[in-house]
Structure 1
């Protein structure tokens, strides 16, 4: 009888030890995967945080240090270890490349692995992190976009701004430097470049009905909407976004204009079609006709 009891105790202890080992297994396996990923991609200069993620501060930033009570504006790009960009909101996903920003009190930024990296920065800083799933979206993942136990390769950037207007202006200023055109900032905050002034004589007001051909892009180059001259958009100017209302009157019928619109003069904090919330917009517009 005693032998049977001792045998059962031995089996129970083995099961207990095995269970304890299983709890650690995911952390151990993912740590090995993260190290292998960094080695395979020649990523150097990363430090391991005690929480379990690896990080490298790209730029500390020259602004104020961040603290948990702060309301922060930030941009992020998330990838898996295969290099696939993770689109948590599908086409409406904000990324560093498209310039759509996120905003929240730092203490409420989630998941944990995100806020722990962001708080390492000053305003104006950026950081890259390899984040294990248990500090990201866990075993359940995120909808159909992120499968369970996915390790993230993330970049976070915190602009050195204090409000959404100055943030939008800084994003456009950086973006327009990549375009070989001269832009002028109007009083509303839109940047514009007149490509062709046009020859029409009609006075254009917000009450005018216009026909336009246009192409609309995000700052990552993705076209989200367009209309050709053979099938133009027709609308009263007052029915269009504010960024159009202030700039279309700067050209005449037959004219063309390129405009860079801050999000607050576009669709603001509401996502629209393939446009993420808080996304700046790039339009090239040809004014085909005007009717008053």
Structure 2
């Protein structure tokens, strides 16, 4: 499945995952996972309300709630090929007196772990410590695990993303991409290019004076994508992306990693152009538009024009 050009993960991802789970059900007494998801969300919300937990963040599509205790500073895991190291304690919801288990996963490929971990490791900055409340469909589902019963929503308490190491293939692609971007920029007459340590390059063409967003700030901005190999035309129309009422959309963490970094460098009112290597863009999946047409091929370096309109909390 390719990513939408406008979102890092989206409704299609959740729908496809739930469809995949449903297709595996071969007995009539196993409940539709979408129904179980709603039950789990209600269980989690009731528990958080009873405990007075209100200051939480949410993954808009998977409906995973999380409370950040310490915010990291490094980029999240890049893909399911990334190897992560993380500490955790896992409880049922509502929690029992002791965790089911606690420990550490060490240099483990993200794609081999439960979906909740995949989602959160690609959203939380490395170094973050958080309590994660996940519906069972993103954990151990209808099968359970050990003492964890089937259809049990879980609390991963003090989940700490210690490190995220990209694969050798991703490292090689990254080197090729950053070289291509530097070669492209050196062929221009720009005198204001900034090369960031993350691998993106950028030019701030208008310096705003307003608020500057952080990882989880709500941001309204305009964006236009071009391919580095064809900078004469946009692959999407200029669109204004802004939070919908009661939504957690349009936070830097909801977008490709190049924009996670880039948006945090701009104040309200700023305009900038970012040159983003494919691994910090749409990677090996590429991206489609709303009609499902491929507009950004796999492993394509991109140019992204951004105008920050407003920054909220």
The normalised TM-score by structure 2 is 0.39
Which one has a bigger Cα radius of gyration? 1
The normalised TM-score by structure 1 is 0.42
